[in-house]
Amino acid sequence: MTTNYAVDAVRPKGQTVPALTLTIVISFFFGLFGFIPAMIHAKRARSLGASGGKYWAAWLITWVLTLIIVAAL
């Protein structure tokens, strides 16, 4: 695991970026509504100096996999 010292210097002490879990779970069970936590978490991550792209990727991948599973059934 690498540390990005430039991001850590900007981030207020004690604040961490949100986990991907909520975005993935809501996207899996509620489809497009997973867009909401992805948007909120990406915005929070950006405000802390981190990239928000992983939340959008998690939302899109989970949503597409859910569509494939539903289509297969």
pTM (2 decimals)?
A: 0.71
Q: What is the mean pLDDT of residues 2-12?
A: 53
**pLDDT (0 to 100) of residue 69:** 92
**pLDDT (0 to 100) of residue 15:** 78
Q: Are 29 and 63 in contact (CB under 8 A)?
A: no
Q: What is the mean pLDDT of residues 59-69?
A: 92
Whether 66 is in a domain gets the answer yes
How many domains does the chain fold into? 1
Residues whose CB falls within 8 Å of the CB of residue 39, separated by 6 or more in sequence, listed in order: 55
Whether 62 is in a domain gets the answer yes
Whether 41 is in a domain gets the answer yes
| pLDDT at 14 > cutoff 70 | no
Alpha carbon distance 15, 34 (integer Å): 23
Which residues constitute the domain of residue 25? 18-72
In which band, very low, low, confident or very high, does the pLDDT at 36 lie, cut at 50, 70 and 90?
A: very high
Closest CA to 59 of 30, 8, 2: 30
Q: What does the DSSP assignment read for 12-46?
A: PTT--PPPSHHHHHHHHHHGGGGHHHHHHHHHHHH
Whether 5 is in a domain gets the answer no
| pLDDT at 42 > cutoff 90 | yes
Whether 13 is in a domain gets the answer no
